[in-house]
Chain A
């Protein structure tokens, strides 16, 4: 299984600012994903981070608000731009491709509070 770390683990930010979340995997993976988990809710996929090409965003999420980078097969970043209190959530990254095509492993999440 893959071990995934995220930085920061939590942050409190002011509205209008931006925060970049880092996701590091301990081995090369084919796919990386970013999810949002709003308070008391389930997980919603924001985008698929593609290595060497632009991320693929789900309906309701746009690149200007959530720019994503995937510079190599073990690392990705998600930026939450121009934050508002509605962006307060847990942001999780996941990775697939290490234990066979059906294994998807999650990082510990980044708990973001926007004031």
Chain B
């Protein structure tokens, strides 16, 4: 069975600081991995995805994530936080791509303060 663990339900950073949101997965088959962002009172927006191509994946809004098979991790980073990055971030895993269901982590709420 697949699962996702997001370390840290709340992360707070200063504007301009590095953002690091942690995600570890468990999967018996090569996974597809996703990061989604949810702004208040909105649906989910796809930030980026890993689908067994390049291990360093670049997404929208300056975010990127690196797939590390040895560590079963897919951490999300952004070099410099902006106030508009404040939102809930969800890591998700799928075993055969988007046709199959997504298993979501518990989410990490990112706060950005001046």
Check: B46 CB closer than 8 A to any chain A CB: yes
Q: Which residues of A contact B101 (CB under 8 A)?
A: 33, 45, 48, 58
Which chain B residues numbered 2 to 21 have a C-beta less than 8 Å away from chain A?
none
Q: Is the CB of A103 within 8 A of B46?
A: yes
Q: Is the CB of A96 within 8 A of B43?
A: no
Q: How distant is the Cα of A71 from the Cα of B64 in the complex, in angstroms? A: 38
Q: Is the CB of B43 within 8 A of A106?
A: yes
With A31-B98, A101-B97 as contacts: A42 and B90 at CB distance below 8 Å: yes
Q: How distant is the Cα of A110 from the Cα of B92 in the complex, in angstroms? A: 21
Q: Is the CB of A97 within 8 A of B98?
A: yes
How many A-B contacts at CB < 8 Å in the complex? 62
Q: How large is the interface on B (under 10, 10 to 19, 20 to 34, 35 or more residues)?
A: 20 to 34
The majority secondary structure among interface residues of chain B is: loop
Q: Is the CB of A105 within 8 A of B99?
A: no
Check: A43 CB closer than 8 A to any chain B CB: yes
Q: Is the CB of A102 within 8 A of B49?
A: yes
Check: A30 CB closer than 8 A to any chain B CB: yes
Q: How distant is the Cα of A14 from the Cα of B52 in the complex, in angstroms? A: 47
Q: Which residues of A contact B97 (CB under 8 A)?
A: 96, 101-102
Closest A residue to B9 using CB positions:
A40
Q: Which residues of A contact B (CB under 8 A)?
A: 1, 4, 30-31, 33, 41-45, 48, 58, 92, 94, 96-97, 100-109, 111
Q: What are the 7 tightest A-B residue pairs by CB atom distance, in nearest-first order?
A: A96-B98, A102-B97, A106-B44, A104-B98, A108-B43, A101-B97, A106-B43
Can you offer 12 A-B residue contacts whose CB atoms are under 8 A? A41-B106, A42-B90, A92-B43, A96-B99, A97-B98, A97-B99, A100-B98, A101-B99, A102-B49, A102-B94, A102-B97, A108-B43
